[in-house]
Amino acid sequence: MTIFDELKELVDVPTAARSYGVEVQRGNMALCPFHRERNPSCKLYTDHYYCFGCQAHGDVIKLVQELLSLSAIEAVKQINSDFALGLDVDKPPDMEKVNRLRREIAERKAKKARIEQMYDTLYKYFALLDRYKIHYAPKAPTDDIDRRYLYAVHHIEYAWYLLETFNRTDADGQEEIKLEVDQIEREYKRCVEEWGEW
């Protein structure tokens, strides 16, 4: 809630209008302060005003702004002081807080991207070993054992274990196995360069 919203909650249009010299008549109709007239054609609602003669309209801040020829923030200060609202109008926007929130959002995004990247690495390594294991399995007992098959059989359990652990861990825990994942990334590249995707 901004200070403008707060102020509008605290001071209604008819009250402000009366205080600044507008003559308010029955049914909250007033002689329009913004054009010459004999019969009141400016309707004052709780949260805004509208003149049927000159179409002037706005909220309580706009009203005081126009009546006293002030800027919006000056009008807010004027109302705040005249009605003793005690709003802290001089408080500058808390840029430190705004920047901290921005940094936090950026950091969360970066962390999410890092984790997705880690998951991809673990998954593609496991999938590669799975393909090696199926593709290069010996067809007969007398066949020579393919290096890729041997490698896959030796490493696939660890790959599966990492992937499983990763899935069961929260984000902070996932970041903690970064070193293992980096090693898997290098291992994956080495396999693909040496033996290919299949």
Q: Which residues bind Zn ion (CB under 5 A)?
A: 32, 34-35, 51, 53-54, 56
Q: Is 56 exposed, middle or buried (0-12, 13-18, 19+ CB in 10 A)?
A: middle
| Alpha carbon separation from 118 to 76, 146, 151, 188, 192 (Å, rounded) | 53, 29, 22, 12, 18
**58 vs 74, which CB is nearer to Zn ion?**
58
**54 vs 101, which CB is nearer to Zn ion?**
54
- Least distance CB 39 / Zn ion (angstroms): 11
**54 vs 106, which CB is nearer to Zn ion?**
54
**53 vs 58, which CB is nearer to Zn ion?**
53
- Least distance CB 42 / Zn ion (angstroms): 5
CB atoms within 10 A of CB 172: 8
- Least distance CB 50 / Zn ion (angstroms): 9
44: which strand partners?
A: 49
**62 vs 133, which CB is nearer to Zn ion?**
62
- Least distance CB 52 / Zn ion (angstroms): 8
- Least distance CB 59 / Zn ion (angstroms): 16
- Least distance CB 32 / Zn ion (angstroms): 3
**34 vs 158, which CB is nearer to Zn ion?**
34
